[in-house]
Structure 1
């Protein structure tokens, strides 16, 4: 038996090297007790797998200021979905730091007790959508696939599986899966002046069809939510909300407001992200000084 040990070791080493090229075993995934997952590619592999997110970001809808209409619409759509009623895929577009990602995180935090799960996927991995959909559609849960900062560069064809999922495949969409995506672009594919020039340079016989191809992707989302830069009052309301969330013992006063406005001026933005960053800086500095 001992004379075969070197050969057995070689076989084991060969199998280890082959493992990245084999489909992963997803039968062990614990969907019941996990709220959120991330779709990742294994190292040196063309196959993806679901990894649990151990500590999903918790955001309460009450923390989100200045976007009441958007909150109401996404709540209604999500409630229709988890009750087995018709619901739409959602595209959230607009200025950076205005709450697009936060509102999706709030959806998970609020509705996960009602059998809602969320799967985060990077836009670079959208070619894996057919594989991911096949994995999820047979499970007894409702899944929102979340793609943050969705956009495509010129010549990028990875959007085609996304088009098929949204509305363009012979297969009926699964009733337990929706896509929520955020983007700084309302039209997800880049449009250039060249698109118009092509009409005169005869590079395409039907140039309008090429333009329609670029616009049609975003139109396949049934619900569009637009986000806009915050007013000064909204910005300060967000600052106050985050201060109460981080440390309710810190008094919100004119000094805090003045510091918050100065911080936003340095950053050139009054977004919710800037408000959150200011509050972390202010509270950290406040406690550090009091410890000295």
Structure 2
């Protein structure tokens, strides 16, 4: 077994704190140390020691993200029109998020490039 290569990184992510499926039926039975059993099911998340939450940005922050990404991608559109279209996209995509903003801008960049050809 060799040590870790310098050009490789492994990241494990999950949207769940409880990585092992648990049901109320798991709590029944004759387990003498039920707290230990339940703690074992959640111990994997505790080992990482870091918890990151991603809250949804408000309209102003979302608009700012869209405008900055538009600059980065070279999108040529008036800012008020860009924000209006970004809001409409967010409604269709399930809400405002940095990911939604990026997907919207990447779509506009694709359309802009396609129109040049």
Report the TM-score range of the alignment, normalised by the length of the smaller protein.
Answer: 0.7 to 0.9
Aligned: 1:217 with 2:44: yes
Partner of 2:53, secondary structure, is strand
Matches within 5 A, 1:239-278: 239-247=66-74, 250-278=76-104
Partner of 2:112: 286
1:144 and 1:222, CA in 2 relative to 1: closer, same or farther beyond 3 A?
farther
The match for 2:19 is 188
From 131, 145, 152, give the equivalent of 2:9.
145
In structure 2, the gaps of 5 or more residues are none
CA drift at 1:262: 0.4
* Deviations, residues 241-262 of structure 1 (Å, cap 9, x unaligned): 2211111x62451101010010
Distance 1:238 1:146, change over 3 A: farther
What is the CA deviation profile of residues 185-238 of structure 1, one whole-angstrom value per residue up to 9, with x for unaligned ones? Answer: 123223333334x1xxx2433222221101111111233222222222222222
Counterpart Cα distance in 2 of 1:246 and 1:218: 37
Unaligned runs of 5+ in 1: 1-133, 148-180
Aligned to 2:2: 135
With the length of structure 1 as denominator, give the TM-score of the two structures.
0.35
Does the aligned pair in 1 maintain the 2:20–2:41 contact within 8 Å? yes
Higher relative contact order (CA 8 A, sep 6+): 2
Q: Which runs of 4+ in 1 moved over 4 A?
A: none
